[in-house]
Amino acid sequence: MLKLNKTEWVPPSFILNGVPGLEDVHIWISFPFCSMYVVAMAGNCGLLYLIYCEDSLHKPMYYFLAMLSLTDLVICSSTVPKALSIFWFHLKKIGSDGCLIQMFFVHTFTGMESGVLMLMALDRYVAICYPLRYSTILTNPVIAKAGLSTFLRGVLLIIPFPFLIKRLPYCRGNVIPHTYCDHMSVAKLSCGNTKVNAIYGLIVALLIGGFDILCITVSYTMILRAVVSLSSAEARRKAFSTCTAHICAIVFSYSPAFFSFFSHRFGGHTVPPSCHIIMANIYLLLPPTMNPVVYGVKTKQIRDCVLGILSGSKNTKSQNI
C-alpha cells in the first residue's frame, strides 16, 4: 500500500533544471536570452504604441500586426523571466499549479501566434487579389471576430493539457530537464501511460499548425498567381514587396518549430538533449525578437512613422535650445 501511495503521489512542486548538460555555462547562456528578451519587449511595446498613436496605421494589416505583438509579449514574458532566474539565481523550483499555468499560456499563445500568421496571410491575399474590396471585406468587426476566434481555438484545444497532466501518477521524481513547463516534458516524469498525452499533443499540433500552414500555403499560391499575371514588372515588385515582412515572420516562427518537431521524432539519440532545449527556447524567443525588427525595416509606413517621430523630437529639442 505504501508503494502504491508513493506511485500516485503528485509533487506539489517541480524543479526546472535549465539546459541539461550545460549547467556550468548557464550564466553565459543567459546573456543572449536577456538581450533577446529586452529587444522583444522594447520592439513589440514600441510597435503597439506606434499602431495605437498613428492614424495612418489604423488599417487591417497593422491590427493583425498588433495582435502578433501582443501574442509575442505574452509568450516571451511567460518563459524568459523564469529561465533567467534559473540561470542567474538558481531559483529552479516552481509550484505544480504555477507549472500548469505556464504550460497553458505557452501552448495557447504559440498556437495563437500561428493563427495570427495565418490571418495575416489571408489579409495579404485579400489586399493583392481584391484590392478594391479590401476595406469592405476586412472591416473592424471582422478583424475582431477573427482575432477572438483564433484565441478561443487555442484556449479550447490547450485546456485539456493541464487535466491530462494531473491525471497521471508520478514516481520518477520532480526534476524537469527544461527551462519551462512543456507538456510532454512534464508527462515524461510519470510512470503511468502517457500515450493519450502524446496522441492528443500530436492532434493539437496538426489541428493548429497543420491547418494554419495549409491556409498560408493556399493564400500565397493565390497571391503568386495574381502577382505573376500583372503586366508591369514594377507592379509585380510592389505587390510582392508588401508580403516580404510577413514571409520573414513565417520563416522565423516555423523553422525552429519544424526542427524541434522532427528532431524529437526522428532524431532519436543523435541530437543531444541540450540542443532540443535550446531550440525550444529559440522557437519561443526568435519570433518576438525579430518580428518588430523585420516589420520596422521592411514596412515603409512603419519606417516613415518612426522617422517622423524621431525628426519631430529632434526639432523640438533644437527649438528648446
Identify the CATH class of 14-304: mainly alpha
Cβ neighbours for 61, distance < 8 A, ≥ 6 positions apart: 120, 123, 124, 127
Q: Residue 265 pLDDT > 50, yes or no? A: yes
pLDDT at 276: 87
pLDDT tens per residue across span 145-197:
999 999 999 999 999 999 999 999 988 889 999 999 999 999 999 988 999 99
pLDDT band (50, 70, 90) for residue 7: low
Asked if residues 62 and 51 have their Cβ atoms less than 8 Å apart, the reply is: yes
Strand pairing partners for 170? 190
Q: Residue 5 pLDDT > 60, yes or no? A: no
pLDDT tens per residue across span 33-62:
999 999 999 999 999 999 999 999 999 999
Compute CA 38 distance to the chain's CA centroid, rounded to the nearest angstrom.
16
Average pLDDT of the chain to the nearest whole number: 90
More confident: 305 or 211: 211
Asked if residues 182 and 198 have their Cβ atoms less than 8 Å apart, the reply is: no
Q: Residue 2 pLDDT > 80, yes or no? A: no
Rounded average pLDDT over 289-311: 89
Q: Rounded distance, CA 229 to CA 210, Å?
A: 29
Max mean pLDDT range (100-109, 168-177, 189-198, 257-266) = 100-109
Q: Residue 27 pLDDT > 90, yes or no? A: yes
Q: Residue 6 pLDDT > 70, yes or no? A: no
Edge-to-edge strand ranges of the sheet holding 13-16 = 93-95, 13-16, 175-176
